[in-house]
Amino acid sequence: MNKKLITLLLGTTLALSACGTSKDNASKPANEGGTTTTSAGEADNIYKNKCSSCHGANLEGAFGPELKKIGSTHSKDEIEKIILEGKSGGMPAKLIQGDQAALVAKWLSEKK
């Protein structure tokens, strides 16, 4: 009974946290190179709004794994694929999409 209750509560928490939105999701104007204007601060804000409930506010891990040194084991492309496609064991797909997924993946890949 307790195991079922914990699983239900964690699943509900994960689902509700995935539903959050942020005003930071507005698109930015393109620069001369045709890419979106981005910064580490934007990636950090996206992470805090979409990922921190599972991976911790300081990348320390919680329900999801620690990400403090994720860039030492995964490339930007691998991280972006996980963000877009999810991963078995609880990582839902498409919490972040498009340019924002690429931005967060680049930011996380620098964590070594």
pLDDT in tens, the chain (112 residues): 666 655 555 555 555 555 444 444 443 433 333 334 457 899 999 999 999 999 999 999 999 999 999 999 999 999 999 999 999 888 999 999 999 999 999 999 999 9
55 marked among binding-site residues: yes
Residues 6+ apart with CB under 8 A from 86: 92, 93, 94
Residues 6+ apart with CB under 8 A from 89: none
Q: Give the global pTM.
A: 0.66
54 marked among binding-site residues: yes
Residue 36 DSSP one-character state: B
Cα 35 from Cα 11, distance rounded (Å): 36
How confident is the model at residue 40, as a pLDDT? 86
19 marked among binding-site residues: no
Alpha helices in the chain (DSSP H): 2-18, 40-50, 52-55, 76-85, 98-109
Residue 35 DSSP one-character state: S
51 marked among binding-site residues: yes
How confident is the model at residue 96, as a pLDDT? 95
User: What domains can you pick out in the chain, each with its CATH number?
Assistant: 37-112 (1.10.760.10)
Cα 4 from Cα 69, distance rounded (Å): 32
